[in-house]
Every structure is written in structure tokens, then in C-alpha cells.
Amino acid sequence: MTTGKIIALRFNRGFGFISPADRAPEGGDVFFHSSSVATGAFDDLREGDSVEFDVEPDPRDPSRSRAANVRVLAPTEAPVE
């Protein structure tokens, strides 16, 4: 399992990006699809949430990676309104 933080969410498109904690200098952010969220609902995620996930080859482009089995470890506090 790899850990990281959600850095971007596109709710209207159903995907987001995770910045891995152990990212190598040549590595980058990891794409994830809403269907890869293993716990809770995609709509409950927030930018800044700490997550753990598996990395697998993207079936559309095996030279790229994507996140699978995304699980929230520490949710970000909801803003006070």
C-alpha cells in the first residue's frame, strides 16, 4: 500500500489525483477514478484527505499508473460555514 494526499477532485467528471507521500523525483501525481474508492463515497472525499491506495497500470495506457482501492486514512476537517 502507498499513502498520499488527495490534491485535486473533479466531482463533475468522477476522478481525482493523489500526491504520493513517497513520490520519487521522477514520479508524479497518481490518477484515480471514482470507481476505485474502496470506502465511503467519492462525493465524501475532500482535497487534503490522507489516503492509502494500491498502484496499478492504467488499462488504457499501460505506461501510466493509476490508483486502485483508495481508502481514506484521515479526513480533512469540513469548513465551518
Domains and CATH numbers, the chain: 2-74 (2.40.50.140)
For residue 37, how many C-alpha atoms fall within 13 Å in the half-sphere facing its CB? Answer: 21
Cα distance between residue 22 and residue 24, in whole Å: 6
pLDDT digits (tens, 9 = 90+) for 11-37: 999 999 999 998 654 568 999 999 999
Tell me if 53 sits within 8 A of 22, measured CB to CB. Answer: no
For residue 80, what pLDDT is reported?
A: 54
Q: What is the pLDDT of residues 45-73, one digit of tens each?
A: 999 999 999 999 988 888 888 999 999 99
